[in-house]
Chain A
């Protein structure tokens, strides 16, 4: 269980988080929604321990993450940023192997077990075919899948370690076309089901949230507007309050989940 308790954070004088509490269950698929500047990325960075909250604390299975070493924390929790740019050209396999960093001693070299985990992660993300291609030559969707593979290799525990891993993704599909968006979404769903990886994902895509997230946290101006199961939170009322947009939310018969159709900005006279 990954929990944030009453988290606050500011960049200089600008307060970005103003007392956010969040619970991520070990088998969760949690979406964080909110308009630009609502604090989604900052919340993910605080949860990952990349930045320290000015107030509140983050706990992993009840232990405050500040008291967990970087290395041990990295074995349990991996982060996939919006975009990854390498300053030097590594192959996709080398990028995935970098996920094994927290499992190795300073001068230890990746062994057959690490290589097997990396190959397994490549296969799981459908990127095994370009293991030896330079990362910079891959398309946006391919890069994102390789980074997810690297994250999987990072939280993969050898043998029978039962502690589940947490995967934090910051708008992972924002730069991708429709087909890649679906592909990444299905990949995350499969990972959650088959590998018991808890997934936390920030997104602007309400239909992605409707289709894949089991629970949602709505962030508005650094505060939690609402939180709970997706069907309870993804309502026209809350969407209007969150984005100032009138939207229709209904169950799509063929897709089998809610769909959100934005209709007009609030106060827009056209409809």
Chain B
């Protein structure tokens, strides 16, 4: 099959899956709603419970899940390609730990001032992610020409541990309610209950996804090794830098919206590769679409398994992802 057809088949197949998930997810939940009543315009919105549940609670949550899932899954592909390591995740390089630190500072100290209509917690999370990215990048480029992926990896892992220690420390000294809210945020929560965070993240994600498309073929070359990619005509230092920032941007935006939902960035790319091969021009769009479908489906599970009690969606993805990750490790050796 030519590459053009493979891209088309994967995009249509996974696109249909994502569309189906996004269509059915708002209908599932502890309260049964009817689409026809929700879209019944003869009744005023204030009196239309079905419409309220559909448009205020479930639709934004579903859309947030789709965006976060797409961003984390494709960022996972990018980081795995950049680090030449199939076990890398969007959180390997400390982006999520930086975001978590920012979010918890906003939660603990009750920062209320956001900017440009964004509330404080996602804004602080995004700034924290940016801080972590800056530190890791400065370390990895400091003494090398170009980007050292080894230093990148080590710096990221160390920063993760350091930020986690800071988080625990602040949590230890904060009161019970704040600690609980932080913990809840760390588990991943797609209950955005408005369209604002989605709209705010859209331009950021658009830039990141454009970067992913631009870098798909360079990532193929990088999987042969940096020198081999270079002698095949790729400006490797620039491609690595672009991949690092595009993937970090997507991760930061996704974590600001939904918290650090784990394992999406590793399960989805691996399942997709099993189905479509390794060419990043196929894997990237397929992972984004399947990531959207997967997280939306996980969120439906989270809302319905023991309804009316909700399980944090990050717990569901971790329960599915942990064993899957171990299976991958064992399979590889």
Contact = CB atoms under 8 A, between A and B. Distances in A.
Contacts of A79: 227-228, 231
Nearest to A104: B217
B13 interface: no
Interface in B232-286: 232-235, 273, 277-279, 281
Interface stretch (A29-37, A91-99, A194-202, A247-255): A91-99
Contacts of A50: 227, 230-231
A70 interface: yes
Given A87-B84, A106-B217, A101 B3 contact: no
B233 A45 contact: no
Given A87-B223, A88-B223, A101-B221, A70 B278 contact: no
Interface centre among A89, A94, A98, A99 (most CB of B within 10 A): A98
Interface residues of A, number: 33
B86 interface: yes
A106 B239 CA distance: 12
Contacts, number: 80
A59 to B, nearest CB: 17
A269 interface: no
A81 interface: yes
A89 B227 contact: no
A101 B223 contact: no
B233 A75 contact: yes
A190 interface: no
Contacts of A70: 230, 233-235
Nearest to A75: B233
A98 B220 contact: yes
B144 interface: no
Given A106-B217, A109-B3, A109-B4, A45 B227 contact: yes
Given A74-B232, A78-B231, A98 B221 contact: yes
A71 B277 CA distance: 27
B225 interface: yes
Given A74-B233, A88-B86, A81 B228 contact: yes
B214 interface: yes
Interface string B140-182: 0000000000000000000000000000000000000000000
A98 B232 contact: yes
A186 to B, nearest CB: 24
B233 A87 contact: no
Given A85-B225, A109-B4, A90 B278 contact: yes
Contacts of B213: 107
Given A90-B220, A101-B217, A73 B227 contact: no
A48 B232 CA distance: 10
Contacts of A109: 2-4, 281
Which of A50, A77, A88, A154 has the most C-beta atoms of chain B within 10 angstroms of its own C-beta? A88
A232 interface: no
B230 to A, nearest CB: 6
A89 B233 CA distance: 21
A110 B217 CA distance: 11
A102 interface: yes
A86 interface: yes
A106 B223 contact: no
Contacts of B84: 87
B56 interface: no
B273 A88 contact: yes
B231 A77 contact: yes
B224 A98 contact: yes
A81 B227 contact: yes
Contacts of A98: 220-221, 224, 232
B3 A74 contact: no
B31 interface: no
A54 interface: no
Interface string A95-121: 100110110101101100000000000
B223 to A, nearest CB: 5
Contact of A95 (B224, B230, B231, B281): B224
Contacts of B278: 88-90, 94
Contacts of A106: 214, 217
Interface string B55-94: 0000000000000000000000000110011100000000
Contacts of B231: 48-50, 74, 77-79
Given A75-B233, A87-B222, A109-B3, 17 more contacts: A50-B230, A50-B231, A70-B230, A74-B232, A78-B231, A81-B225, A81-B228, A84-B224, A86-B224, A89-B273, A89-B277, A89-B278, A90-B220, A90-B277, A94-B220, A98-B224, A106-B214
